[in-house]
Amino acid sequence: MYYFPYAQIEKDTRVILYGAGRVGQDYIYQIAQSEYCSLLFIVDSDWKRLGVRDPEQIRLTPAVSYDHVIIAIKDRNATMEARDYLLDLGVEEKKIVVPRKFLYIPAADTNLERFLSGYGHTEIRQYFIRQRGI
């Protein structure tokens, strides 16, 4: 499991996650489990296939409605491309969070179906159902 960058995000902030791959999935799970911050929505450049939102959606979202956009992409080159794209979309640089490093923690199997059944955020729940086939 890729460890969420808690040290870079203040508690109880509103975040948008950029990246719906393995890193993003792990971050979503930890956000939901910990309730550390509020996940507003998820974007990805491959949004149609993954069933999340188009990154262009950020341009339509008032900056006052979110505190951070967290880039959840392991590849450094792709991360920097996403950062530049976010800047082009008008996201303030201070709102973009690029994890300083990726900490991978092998996790025991979790019962995602039980976890998801108790989690109320429909968009995130449906995303996990599509991705994990549960």
Residue ranges covered by each domain of the chain: 6-126
Q: What is the DSSP annotation of 37-91?
A: SEEEEEE-TTHHHHTSB-GGGGTTS-GGG-SEEEE--SSHHHHHHHHHHHHHTT-
Question: What pLDDT shows up at residue 100?
Answer: 82
Digit-coded pLDDT (tens) for 52-106: 999 999 999 998 999 999 999 999 999 999 999 999 999 999 999 999 877 666 5
CATH 3.20.170.30 fits 6-126, yes or no: no
Q: What mean pLDDT do residues 38-47 have?
A: 96
pLDDT score of 110 more than 70: no
Q: What pLDDT was estimated at residue 119?
A: 46
Query: For residue 1, what pLDDT is reported?
Result: 85
